[in-house]
Copies of this chain bind each other. A is one copy, B any other.
Amino acid sequence: MNSDSEKFLSKLIPESYARMGIESRRTHQNLIRQLMEQRKLPANGWPVKTIESFLSEVSLMDSNNFVDRCGVGEREGRVISDLVAKRHFGLSHGIGRSGDISAPQPKAAGSSLLSQIANSLVLDLLKAMGLPTTKAAVIIPCATGMSLMLCILALRRKRSTANYVLFPRIDQKSCVKSIVSAGLEPIIVEPTISGDELCTNIDLLKKNIEEYGSDNIVCVMSTTSCFAPRVNDNLIEISKLCAAMKIPHVVNNAYGLQCTKCLHQIEQATRIGRVDVFVQSTDKNLLVPVGGSIIAGIDRCFIQTVSSTYPGRGSSTPSIDVLITLLQIGKEGYLKLVAERKEIYIYLKEKLNEISMKYGEKLLKTTHNGISMAMTLNSFGSNVTEIGSMLYKRLVCGSRVVLCQGQKEVCGINYTAWGSHCNNYPHNYLTAAAALGTSKTDVDVFIQRLDKVLTKSRGQNGSRKEEVQTNE
């Protein structure tokens, strides 16, 4: 209903009622206007109805929703199932053009608009969260690992003779895979053990650079957020080294957007040294379903290069999920979530410390990891393997039990003690994380069930074997 329509309102309802209604619609319209004008994350969340109304209006701008159109192409955004069309708000063209995942499409002004705004909001959020120097952010409809691979491939095209990626060890398959799938060889840099923490071995990194030659190295791929006792990589030293040696630096900030500790490091590293791009997941940081990631950095041009590395159009689902979520919670809402997470982190630490002491174990001291923590399980002998699956059966998700032993081949690489990020960590342990959205109840229930499991496990002789594998 536009102002043309509004003037007929008073034919149908008393003018004074109509006026209030129009006023109210204007309030909603103003939220939309501000968003369009400023492309900033609103301070306060929008009413859901405004969000729906915005999506609905924007969707009419895509050619598949044109009333009088005819389509004689091979890709006309046709959707045969209403159920499917509805879940996509009538949007079907996805985002990007064959040349560039962040380019607008002629056939889909609405989808293009949503994608641009989603990117703007994310950029604004990054700045608000402690990354003011960031210049560009793009939501990519791919997993974080895939986006890391796109970054590496984009860098590779400029360094076409280079074949190595220096990779401070982190034992997550998708990270190694992002290098190996790109056709490159990861040089895994073992961490140093400092106190209980697994830290970046800067000396070894330096040594590796020298050994392989900086021209043969596509990039260094460092990691912020990770499972304790590994801690955030030392981004500042790495970035200095990269700047000095002219080696690109890709940061895997997987779920670090929720943690000011990670962001502060990225910001510092960007200012002092070299960070070409940092990549984060949308699901873990923005509480949306799995499906997207954010590539961001200070060099608009390079971010553009990465996004133009994606061959073809992509799903608009991650952008829309992020857009809805950010509009719904607003900046204040996100900052509140982040603040609550910090409190939960402290609470979880306290509780895990208590329970570790109860069983004669200890909470590992890993202050440089602001999300994950770990308690030792040294006194549980061979029962350790079972604890993870016992927890899972009791509906505890996300806690991982790690045995620092064994050999395993992953992506063609032989690892010692895969899963522990290290060849020789001295403890077996169990991790838990205070991630965005974890509630006090989550922690309380976890501790309660862990208590039961540990008690039960201590009482067993370890004969029963578990079948659920919970560490991925």
Shortest A374–chain B CB gap in Å is 12
- Taking the complex as formed, is A301 at the interface, i.e. its CB lies under 8 A from any CB of chain B? no
- Taking the complex as formed, is A244 at the interface, i.e. its CB lies under 8 A from any CB of chain B? no
Instruction: Tell me whether A77 and B173 are in contact in the complex, defined as CB-CB below 8 angstroms, given that A61-B25, A312-B146 are known contacts.
Output: no
Residues of B within 8 A of A432 (CB): 72-73
Query: By the criterion CB–CB under 8 Å, are B325 and A84 in contact?
Result: yes
Count A-side interface residues using an 8 Å CB cutoff: 168
Query: By the criterion CB–CB under 8 Å, are A25 and B70 in contact?
Result: no
A/B interface sample: 19 pairs, CB < 8 A: A1-B54, A17-B105, A20-B63, A27-B66, A28-B60, A47-B67, A63-B395, A69-B395, A74-B225, A76-B435, A77-B289, A79-B288, A80-B287, A84-B321, A99-B472, A105-B472, A142-B146, A178-B312, A182-B183
- Taking the complex as formed, is A51 at the interface, i.e. its CB lies under 8 A from any CB of chain B? yes
- Taking the complex as formed, is A203 at the interface, i.e. its CB lies under 8 A from any CB of chain B? no
* Contacting residue for A290 out of B84, B182, B316, CB 8 A: B316
Residues of B within 8 A of A28 (CB): 60, 67
Residues of B within 8 A of A67 (CB): 24, 27-28, 47
Residues of B within 8 A of A160 (CB): 183
Shortest A230–chain B CB gap in Å is 13
One of A122-130, A187-195, A208-216, A436-444 contacting the partner: A436-444
Instruction: Tell me whether A70 and B441 are in contact in the complex, defined as CB-CB below 8 angstroms, given that A1-B36, A57-B1 are known contacts.
Output: yes
Shortest A355–chain B CB gap in Å is 12
Residues of B within 8 A of A300 (CB): none
Q: How far is the CA of A397 from the CA of B75 in the complex (A)?
A: 9
* Contacting residue for A174 out of B11, B150, B292, B311, CB 8 A: B311
Residues of B within 8 A of A1 (CB): 29, 32-33, 36, 54, 57-58
Extra pairs beyond A20-B393, A53-B56, A70-B441 (5, CB < 8 Å): A14-B106, A24-B65, A63-B397, A71-B398, A291-B316
- Taking the complex as formed, is A414 at the interface, i.e. its CB lies under 8 A from any CB of chain B? no
Residues of B within 8 A of A441 (CB): 70
Shortest A302–chain B CB gap in Å is 15
Instruction: Tell me whether A157 and B141 are in contact in the complex, defined as CB-CB below 8 angstroms, given that A1-B58, A52-B83, A112-B17 are known contacts.
Output: no
- Taking the complex as formed, is A253 at the interface, i.e. its CB lies under 8 A from any CB of chain B? no
Most buried by B among A71, A99, A329, A399: A71
Q: How far is the CA of A377 from the CA of B88 in the complex (A)?
A: 38
Complex interface residues of chain A between 252 and 309 (CB less than 8 A to chain B):
254-255, 281, 283-284, 287-292, 309
Shortest A125–chain B CB gap in Å is 14
Instruction: Tell me whether A16 and B143 are in contact in the complex, defined as CB-CB below 8 angstroms, given that A66-B24, A309-B181, A321-B84 are known contacts.
Output: no
- Taking the complex as formed, is A49 at the interface, i.e. its CB lies under 8 A from any CB of chain B? yes
Q: How far is the CA of A425 from the CA of B142 in the complex (A)?
A: 38
- Taking the complex as formed, is A359 at the interface, i.e. its CB lies under 8 A from any CB of chain B? no
Shortest A379–chain B CB gap in Å is 21
Query: By the criterion CB–CB under 8 Å, are B2 and A288 in contact?
Result: no
Query: By the criterion CB–CB under 8 Å, are B53 and A49 in contact?
Result: no
Query: By the criterion CB–CB under 8 Å, are A153 and B141 in contact?
Result: no
- Taking the complex as formed, is A387 at the interface, i.e. its CB lies under 8 A from any CB of chain B? no
Query: By the criterion CB–CB under 8 Å, are B472 and A88 in contact?
Result: no
Query: By the criterion CB–CB under 8 Å, are A84 and B324 in contact?
Result: yes
Residue in chain B with minimal CB distance to A53: B56
Instruction: Tell me whether A291 and B53 are in contact in the complex, defined as CB-CB below 8 angstroms, given that A32-B1, A60-B24, A255-B74 are known contacts.
Output: no
- Taking the complex as formed, is A169 at the interface, i.e. its CB lies under 8 A from any CB of chain B? no
Complex interface residues of chain A between 144 and 158 (CB less than 8 A to chain B):
144-146, 148-150, 153-154, 156-157
Residue in chain B with minimal CB distance to A100: B173
Q: How far is the CA of A9 from the CA of B304 in the complex (A)?
A: 21
